[in-house]
Amino acid sequence: MAKTSIYLNFAGNCEEAFNNYRKIFGTEFSGKIFRMKDSGVPNLPAGEANYIMNIALPILGGTVIMGTDMLESMGHKLKIGNNTTINLEADTRDEVDRLYKALSEGGSEMSPPADMFWGYWAVCLDRYGIRWMFNGPLKK
């Protein structure tokens, strides 16, 4: 079943923020907490290896917030505009392709749909300055 969540980027303090949100909302993390060292990215600086790659927390009304730490060693810079993303989890790869094509038209900062170890993924900044992330099922 398709769903939408809000994806938050942090500058090394994602775990601290999500532990705080967990207390505030009185909920527990859903799924496994993935760290950067779990991703297979080579030559991560020691300080970034334990950064959060993905964490998820249900908050209110079925909404889930997800988060990650940005990696300065890979040139990531946190700023207003790239700190919040709307994450669309589609049921099919075709739906990811359709949504990506429509929302990226006239946009920028695009990473077209591609297979990743967790699934079919893409991201873009639409022509209105809204960041969208797309996730679909793994290839069978």
N- to C-terminal Cα separation, the chain: 18
Candidate CATH numbers 3.40.640.10, 3.10.180.10, 3.50.50.60, 3.40.50.740; the one for domain 3-136: 3.10.180.10
Model confidence at 80: pLDDT above 80: no
The pLDDT tens digits for 88-139 are 999 999 999 999 999 999 998 899 999 998 999 999 998 878 889 999 999 8
pLDDT on residue 39: 85
pLDDT on residue 37: 92
Inter-CA distances, 74 with 11, 14, 93, 129, 138, Å: 13, 17, 28, 23, 25
Give the mean pLDDT of 19-30: 96
Each domain of the chain, given as residue ranges in start order, spans 3-136
DSSP structure string for 44-99: --HHHHTSEEEEEEE-STT-EEEEEE--GGGT----TTTSEEEEEE-SSHHHHHHH
The pLDDT tens digits for 50-61 are 999 999 999 988
pLDDT on residue 41: 78
Q: 7 near 66, Cβ under 8 Å?
A: yes
pLDDT on residue 73: 80
- Taking the whole predicted model, whether its pTM rises above 0.85 is answered as no
The pLDDT tens digits for 36-51 are 999 887 888 888 999 9
- Polymer length of the chain: 140
Give the mean pLDDT of 49-75: 92
Distance, CA of 50 to CA of 101 (rounded, Å)? 34
Give the mean pLDDT of 15-22: 96
- Please report which confidence band the pLDDT of residue 22 belongs to, taking 50, 70 and 90 as the band edges: very high
pLDDT on residue 79: 81
Distance, CA of 52 to CA of 71 (rounded, Å)? 10
